[in-house]
Structure 1
Amino acid sequence: MATEAEPAAGRTSAVRDWASGCLDEIVDDLAVLVDTETPSTDPVLLAAGAAVLTGWVLETWTGSTATTLGAGPGAVLQVDAPGSRDGTVVLLGHLDTVFEAGTVAARPFTVTDGVARGPGVFDMKAGLVVGVYAVAALDALGVARPSVRLLVNADEEVGSLGSRSSLVDAAAGAEAVLVLEPGAVAGTVKTARKGVGLWTVTATGVGAHAGLDPEAGASAVHALAALTSYLAGLADPAAGTTVNVGVLTGGTRPNVVADHARMEIDVRARTDAEAARVTAALAAWRPADPRVRIEIAGGWNRPPWSTPAPGMVARAEAVLASLGVAVDPREVGGASDGNILAAAGLPVLDGLGASGGGAHAEHEHVVVADLPVRIALLAGLIAPDGS
Structure 2
Amino acid sequence: MVESVHLLVSTESPTSDLAACAHIAEVAAKLTSEWLGSPARVEEHDGCPVVRWGPQHPEILLLGHLDTVWPVGTLSRLPSQLIDDQLTGPGVFDMKAGIVQALAAVSLLIDKGANVGAVGILLTSDEETGSRASRKVIASALTSATAVLVFEPSAGGALKTERKGTSWYRIKFHGRAAHAGLDPERGVNATVEAAAFVMATQSWGNQDAGTTVTPTLLNSGTTANTVPFLAELTLDVRAWSAGEQQRVDSCVRTWQGTHPEARIEIDGGIDRPPLELSASADLFAIAQQVAQQLGLSELRSCAVGGASDGNLTAAAGIPTLDGLGAVGDGAHADHEWASFSAMAERAALTAGIILAALNGEIND
Are 1:358 and 2:330 an aligned pair? yes
Q: How far 1:164 moved relative to its partner?
A: 0.5
Q: 1:204 to 1:385 in 2, by over 3 A?
A: closer
User: CA separation in 2, counterparts of 1:258 and 1:178?
Assistant: 49
| Kept in 1: contact 2:191–2:228 (CA 8 A) | yes
Q: 1:143 to 1:33 in 2, by over 3 A?
A: same
Match of 1:77 among 41, 51, 56: 51
Q: 1:43 to 1:67 in 2, by over 3 A?
A: closer
| Kept in 2: contact 1:352–1:374 (CA 8 A) | yes
Are 1:287 and 2:262 an aligned pair? no
Are 1:381 and 2:353 an aligned pair? yes
**Aligned residue for 2:112?**
141
Are 1:38 and 2:13 an aligned pair? yes
Question: Which residue identity is paired with 2:296?
Answer: G
| Kept in 2: contact 1:76–1:153 (CA 8 A) | yes
- Give runs of ≥4 in structure 1 deviating > 4 Å: 143-146
**Aligned residue for 2:103?**
132
Residue pairs, 1:126-205, within 5 angstroms: 126-145=97-116, 147-186=118-157, 188-205=158-175
User: CA separation in 2, counterparts of 1:152 and 1:36?
Assistant: 15
Residues 354-376 of structure 1, C-alpha deviations (whole Å, 9 max, x = no match): 11111111111111221111111
- Secondary structure at the residue paired with 1:247? strand
Residue pairs, 1:260-299, within 5 angstroms: 260-299=230-269
**Aligned residue for 1:62?**
37
| Kept in 2: contact 1:76–1:167 (CA 8 A) | no
- Secondary structure at the residue paired with 1:342? helix
Are 1:349 and 2:321 an aligned pair? yes
| Kept in 1: contact 2:28–2:51 (CA 8 A) | no
Q: How far 1:254 moved relative to its partner?
A: 3.2
Q: 1:324 to 1:152 in 2, by over 3 A?
A: closer
Question: Which residue identity is paired with 1:45?
Answer: A
Question: Which residue identity is paired with 2:152?
Answer: E
Q: How far 1:145 moved relative to its partner?
A: 4.8
Q: How far 1:63 moved relative to its partner?
A: 3.0
| Kept in 1: contact 2:87–2:340 (CA 8 A) | yes
Q: How far 1:252 moved relative to its partner?
A: 2.3
**Aligned residue for 1:123?**
94
User: CA separation in 2, counterparts of 1:241 and 1:339?
Assistant: 16
**Aligned residue for 1:14?**
none
Question: Which residue identity is paired with 1:272?
Answer: A
Residues 42-87 of structure 1, C-alpha deviations (whole Å, 9 max, x = no match): 11111110000000101110234435252512x43211179xxxx7
Question: Which residue identity is paired with 1:301?
Answer: D
Residues 112-138 of structure 1, C-alpha deviations (whole Å, 9 max, x = no match): 231111111111111101100011112
| Kept in 2: contact 1:69–1:166 (CA 8 A) | no
**Aligned residue for 1:88?**
59
- Secondary structure at the residue paired with 1:384? helix
| Kept in 2: contact 1:96–1:154 (CA 8 A) | yes
- Secondary structure at the residue paired with 1:237? coil
Match of 1:333 among 298, 302, 305: 305
User: CA separation in 2, counterparts of 1:71 and 1:272?
Assistant: 28
- Secondary structure at the residue paired with 1:359? coil
Residues 306-336 of structure 1, C-alpha deviations (whole Å, 9 max, x = no match): 0234521111111222323111111111111
**Aligned residue for 2:205?**
235
Give the aligned length.
356
Question: Which residue identity is paired with 1:114?
Answer: D
**Aligned residue for 1:258?**
228
**Aligned residue for 1:3?**
none
